[in-house]
Amino acid sequence: MTSPSQAPVHRPGWFDHPVLSLLLGGSWLALSHSLALVHILSAVLIGLIVPRLVGGFLKPADRMHWPSAVCLVLVVLWDVVVSNITVARLVLGAMDKPTPLWIPVPLATRNVRLNALFASIITTTPGTVSCVIDEEQGVIWVHALNGQDPLAMATDMKRRYEAPLMRALGVVADKPREAAT
């Protein structure tokens, strides 16, 4: 019998980390360059067994709102394609000289995982690089290859990436931070 102060020990399940399982299985199939039955069965076994073996080292997986996550992935993929074309036209075309700028993008939450994913998404789209996550001020500093209106660009990043990411991970926005004096 356990005492009331001790929490019950979580026993790892077979599908506790579904994203990790899918990534491992997909990686196995990509590395094997085959969709033969033996490789598919190997991918399923690897996707089920490896997360269970390392489950003690992993914290419990976050609950995911899958429709929001799928929509976010589609938006990011679309933006990557459009940004690639835009950057190629800017670099190779007869457009005017680019106007690089620094954009302070205020963060809606102090959730470290969400902010790291947000910064990664920003960096994934060509023409922008998230350089610093300033946790004290609650800002990601983004360098853009070309832009005119930093406020509009920051608002667009928050609307297209941060808000759907918060919905997908079930994270609620923090209370607004007070200005530092």
Condensed to tens digits (0 to 9), the pLDDT of residues 35-73 reads: 999 999 999 999 999 988 887 787 777 778 889 999 999
Q: What is the mean pLDDT of residues 20-46?
A: 93
| Per-residue pLDDT at 179 exceeds 60 | no
Q: What is the mean pLDDT of residues 110-123?
A: 92
Q: What is the mean pLDDT of residues 110-131?
A: 89
| 102 phi, psi to nearest 5 deg | -100, 135
Higher pLDDT, 105 or 96: 105
Q: What was the pLDDT predicted at 5?
A: 58
Q: What was the pLDDT predicted at 43?
A: 94
Q: What was the pLDDT predicted at 180?
A: 45
Of 116, 104, 107, nearest in space to 176 by CA: 107
What predicted TM-score, i.e. pTM, was given to this entire model? Answer: 0.73
| Lateral strand order in the sheet of 139-144 | 101-106, 139-144, 128-134
Percent of the chain at pLDDT exceeding 70: 88
Q: What is the H or E stretch that residue 178 is in?
A: none
Per-residue confidence at 153, pLDDT binned at 50, 70, 90? very high
Distance separating alpha carbons of residues 86 and 94, to the nearest angstrom: 12
Q: What was the pLDDT predicted at 81?
A: 95
DSSP state of 57: G
| Per-residue pLDDT at 28 exceeds 60 | yes
Distance separating alpha carbons of residues 25 and 47, to the nearest angstrom: 5
